[in-house]
Amino acid sequence: MAKAVSHQDRDVILRVRDIEVGFGTKKILKGLDLDVYSGEILGFVGGSGSGKSVLTRAILDLVPRQAGIIEIFGIDYDEANPDTKLAIDRNIGVLFQHGALFSALTVKENVQVPMREYYELSQPLQDELAAVKLELVGLPLDALNKYPSELSGGMIKRAALARALALDPDIVFLDEPTSGLDPISAADFDELIADLSETLGLTVFMVTHDLDSLQAVCDRIAVLRHGKVLVNGPLSAMLEVEDEWVRSYFRGKRAQLGAIDGGHDHGDSTKSPMASPRPSS
Amino acid sequence: MTANPAYHLLMEDEDAQPVGQLVVTERGDTLHLEASGDWTLRTVELLDGKIRKLEEITAKAISVDISAVTEMDTSGAWLIERLRRRLLERGIELDVAPLADTSRGRGLVSVLKAHKIDVDQALAGSPGFSFLAPLRILGEMTLQAWRDFIMACNILGACIQGSQLKASNRSSIRATAIISQLDQMGRQAVPVIGVMSLLIGGILAQQSAYQLKFFGEELLTVDLVGILLLREIGVLLTAIMVAGRTGSAITAEIGMMKQREEIDALQVMGLNAVGVLILPRLIALLIALPILTFLADLAGLLGAIIVCFLYVGITPDQFLAAFETGVGGEPFIVGLVKAPFMALVIGLVATIEGLKVGGSAESLGKRTTESVVRAIFIVIFMDGVFAIFFASIGF
């Protein structure tokens, strides 16, 4: 997962400009700017209640915003005609924090929902494709005919990821993908995301609290603070930021602990990740 | 980096995009396939048939060239990979070139090659129809009815004996909970039940008066409506209304609490779920339904009085006099006696169905429906049993 960090020569897949979102009199996002480059894995961090989920939901047009422009695939979403919007929606996959699988449908049917709605495919082919997707996200195939209530937390995340990838989108939004998973499952999930990003050419926008995830898979990290992106760049850049919250986030107790344990969790790094950030190319 | 595939997908008209193509050429014993165009979800349905035909082909060697494919997603890659597998099962090697294509999509073929995808499992469908199926369903229903009955007995038993078995010193009967439930089940139901009974009383009076007019016995309307309303209709319709209004609410509340593990939370706190959730609702129902029945009786009689006066000219004084001699208090008592039993049935059915709610949203909806339907059915059935009972004791 060594990718170029200089982004000048890369396509911007998602461009967010001057976004303002507020509820009542409380402003959550105050003129936020953000670029997501094609093919990268962007980790988005911020304190609880700082508006990470609000930003994701604003980008996905799930919460109204007071101001700002969102350009995805180079197209202004607000200005797009319905057909273009549909094409954009088809190219976006979302993994919600709690999976948001349809509880009345089996895993197989969940994965097939977008296929069925957008394309005319025969049932045997749909079944095969659902199996392919489940295999890609690492779910055992006996989960195909299970209902979401019969799955464990980790399996729900994987099944939801399979559904998000059903139409082979170009960009996926992951809302705390490793929350609620044990460290081993979380590391597996990180690896899965990195693998998929590479093989499917996915761009990943990941909201996370998991320092291990940030360290293991993210090409770039953006920090949300006071309703704006305070800083963005590789992990090494985070360690030089003189903001109280950023400092305690990346160099606090949990981070130290992560540094001790992190060494053998991820095969690619034997040194302490905090002391030596990943090479930048 | 080449232009992102999504960009041209968005720019171009759907019809203008290249369709997936597969050209087959035969060179001696070797079949050569040349794939081109888009191999994506949009086009695979057409390609699927072609590929399936190729799976049956016999040739010494087959090769496929995917270098001319403009775009390929997992579905397109899967078609190639499936062809490779099917041919391999019959001992034919499929040569995919170039396999290690680095561009997006085409490399997927080699990714899929590394996975074991068990298609049979995906295709395993539901068991077919059997002539024994109706019998099996009947058996399951009978067993379920028996289990429900046992569960109802358990809940009832737990209400009487178990609800005080908890660590706190507070009284096992929670007055505030009962009063708040009474407010929801009772007071808030008064307008709808009142208006409904008023209308039913009026309609009954109008219909009976119309028929009795032919015999010149309009005054018998009072007896007919009075007995019918007080003995059967008043309590029955109130119970049905409460089953629909309160029974469904109880099932949904308890079901949702079960889904969100709130009932488990109560249990681990040492609180008794039956005492905290079910007992207050049952007690409130036991109080509310007789009161609502009483109000429904009054409203129904008022409706009858109004219609009798306007339609056949029986004055309220005449009505009340005829009521006293012809109807008396007996039907009123009979109706009210039934109310608590019906309340108990509604409450028990609602809690049983609520506790049966599983993990899905569908299950919550199904259980709520079931709760109302069963409660209404049992209430009507019980009403019949009561009719026989009262007839045999000559009341």
Contact B78 A118 (CB under 8 A): no
One domain for residues B117 and B207: no
Residue A37 has pLDDT above 90, yes or no: no
Judge if B56 and B199 occupy the same domain.
Answer: no
**Which phi and psi (to 5°) does residue B136 adopt?**
-60, -45
Render each residue's pLDDT in chain B as its tens digit; 395 residues.
Answer: 334 444 444 444 555 667 777 888 877 777 888 888 888 888 888 888 888 888 777 777 788 888 777 778 888 888 888 888 888 888 887 777 776 565 656 667 777 777 777 666 666 655 566 788 888 899 999 999 999 999 989 888 887 776 555 555 555 667 888 899 999 898 999 999 999 999 999 999 999 999 998 998 888 899 999 999 999 999 999 999 999 999 999 999 999 998 888 888 877 777 777 888 888 899 999 999 999 999 999 999 999 999 999 988 889 999 999 998 888 888 899 999 999 999 999 999 999 999 999 878 888 999 999 999 999 999 999 999 999 999 999 87
Is B200 found in the same domain as B95?
no
Residue spans per domain, chain A: 40-63+82-264
**CB atoms closer than 10 angstroms to residue A30:** 15
State how far residue A2 is from chain B, nearest Cα, in angstroms. 16
Which pTM was predicted?
A: 0.68
Q: Does A168 touch chain B (CB under 8 A)?
A: yes
Residues B187, B98 share a domain: no
Q: Which of residues 47-86 of B touch A (CB under 8 A)?
A: 48, 73-75, 78, 82
Please write the tens of the pLDDT for every residue from A67-81: 888 888 888 888 888
ipTM score: 0.71
- How do residues B346-364 score in pLDDT, each as one tens digit? 999 999 999 999 878 888 9
Tell me: do B111 and B151 sit in the same domain. no
Segment (H or E) for B72: strand B61-72
Residue B185 and residue B108 share a domain: no
* CB nearest to B74's CB, from A88, A118, A133: A133
Tally the domains of chain B: 2
Is residue B165 assigned to a domain? no
Identify whether B68 is part of a domain: yes
Cα separation, B343 vs B337, whole angstroms:
11
**CB-based contact B4 A150, cutoff 8 Å:** no
pLDDT in tens, B157-194: 887 776 555 555 555 667 888 899 999 898 999 999 99
Chain center to CA of B55:
45
B107 and chain A: CB distance < 8 Å anywhere?
yes
B324 in the same domain as B213: yes
Residue B129 lies in a domain: no
Which residue of chain B comes nearest to A90, CA vs CA?
A: B6
Nearest Cα to Cα of residue A57 among A23, A104, A108, A106? A23
Class of domain A40-63+82-264: alpha beta
Question: Which candidate, B354, B358, B253, places its Cα nearest to that of A147?
Answer: B358
Whichever domain contains B54, its CATH number is 3.30.750.24
**Highest mean pLDDT out of A96-100, A118-122, A124-128, B184-188:** B184-188
In the block, tokens 């894995």 appear at A41
